[in-house]
Amino acid sequence: MKILSVVGARPNYVKLVAVHDVFSRFFEHVVVDTGQHYDYEMNRVFFEQLEVPEPDYFLGVGSGSHGYQVGEIVKRVEEVLQRERPDFVVVYGDTNSTLGGALAAVKAGFRVGHVEAGLRSFDMSMPEEVNRRVVDHVSHLLFAPTGSAYRNLLAERVPGRVFVTGDVHVRALKRWLPIAEERSHVLERLGLDPGYVVVTLHRAENTDDPARLSKIVGLLVGLARRERVVFPVHPRTRKRLVDLGLWEGLSGSGIVLSEPLGYLDFLKLLSNSRLVVTDSGGVQREAYLLRKPVVVLRGVTEWVELVESGLALLVDVESGLDPERILDWRPSGYVEGLLGDEHAPEKIAEILKGYLESGNF
């Protein structure tokens, strides 16, 4: 039985790291990398550091508008599918590679499984929301990480079969955190002692709006007046900051600015922080799993369990940003198991195997 995985952006690679060993035990596993992310720390470092073999295909799509990226991914993935003829195509998360891979598969007559199905922000202005909704409605098997994701899919009456499997990030973090603590020297390299604030920022809703981005820069400068702040800057975010004339204000504020970090370095950075400020879905989950307070710079989040349990604080940029409130916020108490356990990859593989063996579609 042959499974073909389509990845292409940093969030996809983390999920691939979690499932690859399991998939390779159950199936012939073909990996297609679209090349949506092509910077070293956003792409190559995952294959070099995390014991994932080189992708079988690298499509080199690169940057461009959403329409361009998705169109190129559809065309190039379809060519691979016709050559490989897999029994099932698996896509991950909510990136343009997820959407392009799913569309290429269903239009060419292949069955699709979606890892991390059912997440909803209910904000259709977010490109990720559009991607995940379309993918969920063309997928045959939907692997929901949480109960709320499962309920979203049932409410939308998706045509595929829905399963609650837990979040594959749990497996990735539990496996690689001890290795990151041992191998990574990121704290020494950046001149950090444990107990700082980590910031990540990349979503279009924050970076593409000059007023919002300016407010966030003001917040970060305010945070840095009271505590040590470290900010690994996404390439696209850096370009926006430079283009809008905001970079100099950040670089002169005492904030530790760095290039994007590889997965091991970033895990080490998170595990030694005291607070996380982010707009990333993946970083929200990693902060929760590491028992770090996490402030989400968005009005909504797909990971509603974290907010409802008092483990993540939503802060709407439009409503104003108060550095003191953010620095002084603490979770109400830790709740175990909101994202499932480390066996999500096995659950997904067993479901795929059972369906392929039975032919029950």
Alpha carbon distance 187, 181 (integer Å): 10
- DSSP run (H or E) holding 221: helix 210-226
**91: closest CA among 15, 148, 145, 159?**
15
Alpha carbon distance 247, 57 (integer Å): 37
Q: Which residues contact 224 (CB under 8 A, 6 or more apart)?
A: 253, 254, 255
* 161 neighbors 142 (Cβ within 8 angstroms): yes
Alpha carbon distance 217, 227 (integer Å): 15
234 is catalytic: no
* 45 neighbors 183 (Cβ within 8 angstroms): no
Strand partners, 91: 6, 114
DSSP 3-state of 311: coil
Q: Write the DSSP string, 11-46.
A: HHHHHHHHHHHHHHHHSEEEEEE--SS-SGGGTHHH
Neighbours of 227 (CB within 10 A): 13
Alpha carbon distance 241, 300 (integer Å): 24
- DSSP run (H or E) holding 79: helix 66-84
DSSP 3-state of 192: coil
**186: closest CA among 271, 253, 252?**
271
Strand partners, 294: 276, 312
Strand partners, 141: 113, 161
- Out of 20, 202, 234, 343, the active site residue is 202
Enter the DSSP assignment of 318.
G
CA distances from 320 to 212, 218, 298, 307, 314 (A): 10, 11, 11, 19, 12
Q: Catalytic positions, please? A: 202
